Amino acid sequence: MGSFDDATTVRRVSDGRYSAELDGAYAFEQALNGGYLMAVLARAALDAAGRPHPISTAASFLRVGRPGPAEVHVESRKSGRTADVARVTLVQDDMAVVEAIITTGTLDGDAEPVFSASADRLPPLEECVLFGNEPEPESGFAARVEMRYDAATMGWLDGQPSGLPEMRSHFRLREDREPDGVVLALAVDSLPPVVLNTGAYGWSPTVELTWHMRAVPAPGWLALHGRGRLVSDGWFDEDVEVWDSRGRLVAQSRQIARAGRNRP
């Protein structure tokens, strides 16, 4: 089984052009996870700018990303003292799959916040539940990412959705790899869609997702807190906060997505 770094590797082939081999292990029924695709885009943007951190990413998902060869095109929009901005496009079969504006820069890992909100309560690991019955799946997304869910947000699995569009989980990679900015790109889109807890089911494709890296994460588990504000007319929103093992807010995201069908 390849590593996360192998799965998100990009290779420079010319100025602003990269090749990638997208890993099917990060797919659900051949549709690659959006967070994984953003991690690949972040790799190219960081390499092109020579910066360590993806500060802001605004991504539009135009088509379904599939496992296999891909290209990443990086077009500089600004190169400044503290930040670089680029338009970054993932291309497969000569068609744009994801287009993003990515801002890269450098965050101080020792910076202390002047003010910070506090995280909502997430039960400790031993009180949380797995998505399925296998603690160590052999293949697929669950074999790459370990998640332990707040049982209060998982009633939809048993046909008893809570009615509140929310999900909460602990998160880490299933390898000896601590979180960084590229892992955060994956983490912000790793929760099951919050709309499942309103009775929806089936695929809920992301249309646009914007996320911000707020701090350099400490080693250890991350805590994901997802919630929605409105489910209407076949659309829903989803906000995710990512907190590190020191209790610091390290990433925030908001996406707009299509809701799956509601059960009769």
pLDDT at 261 over 90: no
Tell me the average pLDDT across 159-185.
97
Tokens matching residue 242: 């990512």
Question: Which pLDDT band holds residue 133 (cuts at 50, 70, 90)?
Answer: low
40 and 164 in a single domain? The answer is no
86 and 140 in a single domain? The answer is no
Q: Is residue 141 in a domain?
A: yes
CA distance 30 to 203: 12
Provide the percentage of residues in the chain whose pLDDT is more than 70: 96
206 and 88 in a single domain? The answer is no
For 26, the 3-state DSSP assignment is: helix
Q: Is residue 118 in a domain?
A: no
Question: Which pLDDT band holds residue 14 (cuts at 50, 70, 90)?
Answer: very high
40 and 132 in a single domain? The answer is no
- Among 24-38, 50-64, 114-128, the range with the most confident prediction by mean pLDDT is 50-64
**CB burial of residue 114 (10 Å; 0-12, 13-18, 19+):** exposed
CA distance 12 to 162: 47
248 and 199 in a single domain? The answer is yes
Among the candidates 80, 106, 132, a domain finishes at 106
Question: Which pLDDT band holds residue 2 (cuts at 50, 70, 90)?
Answer: confident
Phi, psi of 144 (to 5 degrees): -100, -30
38 and 139 in a single domain? The answer is no
Query: What's the confidence (pLDDT) of residue 132?
Result: 63
CA distance 257 to 76: 28
- Find, among 115, 104, 58, the residue nearest to 248 by Cα: 115
pLDDT at 25 over 90: yes
Q: Is residue 100 in a domain?
A: yes
pLDDT at 217 over 70: yes
Tens of pLDDT, residues 142-167: 899 999 999 999 999 999 999 999 99
Q: Is residue 119 in a domain?
A: no
Q: Is residue 111 in a domain?
A: no
Provide the percentage of residues in the chain whose pLDDT is more than 90: 88
CA distance 40 to 57: 12
Tens of pLDDT, residues 39-79: 999 999 999 999 999 999 999 999 999 999 999 999 999 99
Q: Is residue 184 in a domain?
A: yes
Among the candidates 78, 106, 134, a domain finishes at 106
pLDDT at 211 over 60: yes
CATH number for 34: 2.40.160.210
Average pLDDT, the chain: 94
What domain range includes position 51? 1-106
Among the candidates 106, 138, 166, a domain finishes at 106
Question: Which pLDDT band holds residue 1 (cuts at 50, 70, 90)?
Answer: low
How many structural domains does the chain have? 2
2 and 69 in a single domain? The answer is yes
44 and 161 in a single domain? The answer is no
Query: What's the confidence (pLDDT) of residue 30?
Result: 78
Identify the bridge partners of residue 101 per DSSP, sorted by sequence position: 58, 87
Query: What's the confidence (pLDDT) of residue 262?
Result: 64
Q: Is residue 114 in a domain?
A: no
44 and 141 in a single domain? The answer is no
70 and 160 in a single domain? The answer is no
CA distance 144 to 39: 14
Tens of pLDDT, residues 182-195: 999 999 999 999 99
80 and 161 in a single domain? The answer is no
102 and 134 in a single domain? The answer is no
pLDDT at 264 over 90: no
Q: Is residue 202 in a domain?
A: yes
* CB of 245 closer than 8 Å to CB of 220: yes
